[in-house]
Structure 1
Amino acid sequence: MRQNRRQLLALVMGVALLILAITLNRALTFTPFHLIGLSREWWVGPREIAHMIGLTGFTVAAWYFISSFASRRLIATNIAITVAVVVGLASSWPEDGWLYDVFGVTTFELAVSLSPIYLGAWALFGLIAWKTPSLLRPKPALMSSCLVLVMTTALWELYIQPFDNVYGGPPRGWIEMAQVLCDLVGILFGALIVQRIAGWPEPQNEAVFRKPRDCI
């Protein structure tokens, strides 16, 4: 039960950091500066700071999501949150201007693009919970969340935007190295926060990760 509370704290903190990142991306203003040299690749502005905070939040939230599949209580919590989000998005469907302003997509586009990923994640971690539940323990879950986000950052920042497209437009043609660095620092900060929340070393008497009564 104590581990469940820690994970819920991580969920709340992760969501709070994501909201903060979105807010700062829209409201934060300061004169950008070059992190290294004078090249545009190392240009740091409000967007890079928002990225760093956002990746911190994503890391913490991803750890919660992965490790939550070891607990039936948290799986039920995930289902309740999913229903609440779906209802909230459905209620805003006719007036989705705010969603476009924040993410650059409509409610329908967001649902179409994220639903397969979300359902696929449920299927994957449900299978892991059934076959190899030890991978859902706090430390392996943190390693998995960091690995997924580092790979996503590498794909997005080192290939898609520089050489394929930027949100459906032409590719940038160069790599935003400062943003890559900020993303990686954000992932590192998120891992440190998770370590603090989880209280390494792991408690050895927590039934949630040892007994099948509260596990799949």
Structure 2
Amino acid sequence: MPSTHLKSVPLVLGVMIVLFAISFDSQANFAGFQVMDGPGWFIGPRAVAHMIGFIGLIMCFWFFFISFAEKTTLRMNLALGSLLPIIGLAYFWGPEFLQEKIGNLHALLALQMTPIYLAACCWVYMMKKLTPRLISPKGALVTAMCGGVGVSLYWELLQQRFINVYGDAPRDYIQFGQILCDLTGIAIGFALVALIVNQLNKRHHQPHPLPA
């Protein structure tokens, strides 16, 4: 399998896993359990959905970073990124069946993610110019992991604790159980992408066949 195709495997898997996590969050219904005493240590369906989602996010983050190293992967990245405003606009100006399928929450999330995505593109472009090692397969893996941890801590320690919780009032406690699930998902995603990076390294160091 060519290296470009191999690099796209985490992207495809990551998108599928994130979509599954969204579906799991809306459909799963089980009691959950306490890791320790206190409301912050409860692990329920949403925490498990977070764990699944972060596996996919790490895969997508990794592809996002390494995509800037090649024109082919960069085109794939930009094509997917262009879907964000399209999803949001389709909800507000598209036909009724699209509005029902997308839903208000997903449309607003896509629109909110658009400027974040554009800012991330500018940031990674600067990384490519200043520290190109960070968009190499190994460097991107570490960067993706750090990005995943940063997203988790921002969401749990700042957004939901002090700003709002999906539009409602902020919580008066930190969901440590959910952070634990986030970090577990990040570790699994890291390990899965590391397998791909290992295969890429093997291909890179294989001797080229001599001409006949």
TM-score (norm 2): 0.84
Alignment match, 1:9:
9
Letter of the 1:100 partner, please give it.
G
Question: 1:27-42 residue pairs with structure 2 within 5 A?
Answer: 27-36=27-36, 38-42=37-41
TM-score (norm 1): 0.83
Q: 1:72 to 1:119 in 2, by over 3 A?
A: same
Alignment match, 1:80:
79
Letter of the 2:165 partner, please give it.
V
Report which structure shows greater RCO (CA 8 Å, sep ≥6): 1
RMSD over aligned CA atoms reads 2.3
Deviations 1:81-101 (A, max 9, x none): 334554455444334344336
Matched, 1:100 2:100: no
Q: 1:98 to 1:58 in 2, by over 3 A?
A: same
Letter of the 1:110 partner, please give it.
L
User: d(CA) in 2 for partners of 1:167 and 1:85?
Assistant: 19
Letter of the 2:187 partner, please give it.
L
Matched, 1:146 2:145: yes
Contact 2:66 2:140 in 1 (8 A): yes
The alignment covers a number of residue pairs equal to 201
Matched, 1:135 2:142: no
Alignment match, 2:121:
122
The share of aligned pairs that are identical, in percent, is 32
Contact 2:156 2:175 in 1 (8 A): yes
Gaps of 5+ in 2: 206-212
126-135 vs 13-22, greater mean Cα deviation: 126-135
User: d(CA) in 2 for partners of 1:201 and 1:17?
Assistant: 22
Q: 1:88 to 1:63 in 2, by over 3 A?
A: same
Alignment match, 1:21:
21
> 1:26 deviation in Å?
1.0
Deviations 1:170-205 (A, max 9, x none): 211001111010001110110001011222682473
Alignment match, 2:186:
187
SS at the partner of 2:69? coil
Q: 1:196 to 1:113 in 2, by over 3 A?
A: same
User: d(CA) in 2 for partners of 1:44 and 1:64?
Assistant: 30
Q: 1:168 to 1:85 in 2, by over 3 A?
A: closer
Q: 1:26 to 1:167 in 2, by over 3 A?
A: closer
User: d(CA) in 2 for partners of 1:85 and 1:186?
Assistant: 24
> 1:39 deviation in Å?
2.1
Letter of the 1:10 partner, please give it.
P
Alignment match, 1:212:
none
Gaps of 5+ in 1: 207-216
> 1:168 deviation in Å?
3.0
Q: 1:160 to 1:82 in 2, by over 3 A?
A: closer
